[in-house]
Amino acid sequence: MIGLEEQNQLFLLMGQKLKRKIECYVIGGSAMLYYNMKSATKDVDIVFDKEEDRNEVIKLLREIGYSERGIKVEVIYVKKKNVPVLLQKDDTRIDLFFEKIITTRLTDSMKDRIRQVYDFANLTIKVLAPEDIIFLKCATERAGDRVDAVNILKKVSVNWNVISEEAQLQTKLGEHLFPVYLFDFLYELKEDLKAEIPAGVLREIRKMAEDLLEEKLGRKEKKRKPGKRKVH
Amino acid sequence: MKESIEQVLRKLEGLNTLDLVQKKLNIRKSTAVKKLCQLRKLGFVETSGGGKQPRLYRVSRLKIKKTGNPGLYDIINQNSPIKLVKPYEHRIVGRKLSIEEGIVMAVKTENFRVVLAALALFNKIRDWSRLYHYAKKEGVRRKIGVLYDVARAVIRVRRMPKKTRKLLLRAREKGRHIIPLIKAKDFLDISREWKIYVPFNKADLARYKE
């Protein structure tokens, strides 16, 4: 586990050792530390938008004693070129992503919504907005992520429009049905963890998910029966 | 019935004036002052303004715990009569942001309002060689020079040493725009001398004379 102080010391050390300016984004538990929503996190999650920046940070972390974690990421991300790099030194684990976090892309809209920026010498850390932290957590299956999302909802007023618009945007960018994941995730939060989510928001996201599913299924049906046409 | 802190914070979340707090909680002025004071001690309230400007209370449900030292927007708001709304909280960790670095950082943002507000920082410069050092590092020496001359034409600023001026004028850097695609019609002589387009018209700088 790593707290805010240790995380800052790590970033400062990285920033002082880097030879040129590098920008990156923190997500998940690491971002929650800056919002004072969590006291410690299991791993530091960093996203880069330039691959050469990530490579330079990986090289630097290896120099200061970090090594690959014993997980074969290729097994989880089969046939994927862009896989995260998972490093570890003692108790500290660092996950380094490039552009994509599992299935979600780091979009320009997410970058525009950043709430905090920290300059650690040559390393600039940008903290994603709480709405985006929740959104990134909806595509995972971990129980801890649901608890984190409830904690965020307790501490800030979330702009639900931002979350639903991001779900639509992410669906346009990739093949995943984000509104469906989002509805499942939020429904679970409301029913099981008693999170305060307005019924109207759930209704709207459900409608969006249903429309999207109908659209996708309709397209598949059309693909299966190419010869059949309606006769007027 | 007494409200819990959580309930009070939910009602007050966001930017408030004292009158607004009175209305939202339906309490007297003295009670509102006391309430805000208590919340500030707990770390839920940040105050700004005062004097000629109205006193504003920013209430957040999260305890505000600031890491590091003030960033670009804080430095500008402390030293310039033109205030900026922070698009995000900017903090510097491990060192303090100097006025000289702040000016260079403001130019690098390529944001009209930020550069305009940063002109006032030229009056606070103590170390001109440090300004030159940062300007050289970021490749904005001519831009800094032209902005200094514009600032000097409108507001009272400290005199730049001849040596620094010569060095800034001698710089060969790419790019003629301080703000992309913006080229004003005033200050043409300054613009010609530095070979950089000034983004401000005289009317833009009128706020410095108010």
- Measured between beta carbons, the chain A residues lying within 8 angstroms of B62 are 35-37, 155-156
Residues of A engaging B, defined by a Cβ cutoff of 8 Å: 4, 8, 11-12, 15-16, 34-37, 114-121, 126, 155-157
Nearest to B91 among A15, A36, A118 (CB): A118
Question: CB–CB of A124/A24 below 8 Å?
Answer: yes
The answer to whether B67 contacts A8, with C-beta atoms less than 8 Å apart, is: yes
pLDDT value at B3 more than 80? no
SS3 call for B163: helix
Residue range of the domain that includes A176: 130-225
State the smallest CA–CA distance between residue B140 and chain A in angstroms.
Answer: 16
The answer to whether B61 contacts A11, with C-beta atoms less than 8 Å apart, is: no
Same domain flag for A134 and A124: no
Quote the pTM value: 0.87
The pLDDT value recorded for residue A230 is 55
| Residue A230 in domain | no
DSSP string, chain A: -EEHHHHHHHHHHHHHH-SS-EEEEEEHHHHHHHTTS-SEESEEEEEESSHHHHHHHHHHHHHTT-EE-S--HHHHSTT-SS--EEEEETTEEEEEEESEETTEE--HHHHHT--EEEEETTEEEEEPPHHHHHHHHTT---HHHHHHHHHHHHHS---HHHHHHHHHHHHHHSSS-HHHHHHHHHHHHHHHS-----HHHHHHHHHHHHHHHHHHHHHHHHHH-SS-----
| Residue A24 in domain | yes
Cα distance between residue A75 and residue A193, in whole Å: 32
Interface A-B: count of C-beta contacts within 8 A: 50
Encode pLDDT of A188-226 as tens digits. 898 888 888 888 889 988 988 888 888 888 776 666 666
| Residue A231 in domain | no
| Residue A172 in domain | yes
The pLDDT value recorded for residue B26 is 94
**For domain B5-59, which architecture applies?**
Orthogonal Bundle (1.10)
Same domain flag for A121 and A135: no
The answer to whether B62 contacts A156, with C-beta atoms less than 8 Å apart, is: yes
Last residue of a domain, one of A128, A156, A179: A128
Judged by average pLDDT, the poorest of A16-25, B61-70, B107-116 is B61-70
Amino acid at A87: L
Encode pLDDT of A140-196 as tens digits. 778 888 999 999 998 888 899 999 889 888 888 876 778 888 889 999 898 888 888
- Measured between beta carbons, the chain A residues lying within 8 angstroms of B95 are 121
Nearest to B65 by CA among A45, A24, A46, A155: A155
What residue spans define the domains of chain B?
5-59, 74-209
Question: CB–CB of A121/A15 below 8 Å?
Answer: yes
Cα B84 versus chain centre, distance: 5
Same domain flag for A9 and A55: yes
ipTM above 0.90, yes or no: no
The answer to whether B92 contacts A119, with C-beta atoms less than 8 Å apart, is: yes
Token digits for B150? Answer: 């514009």
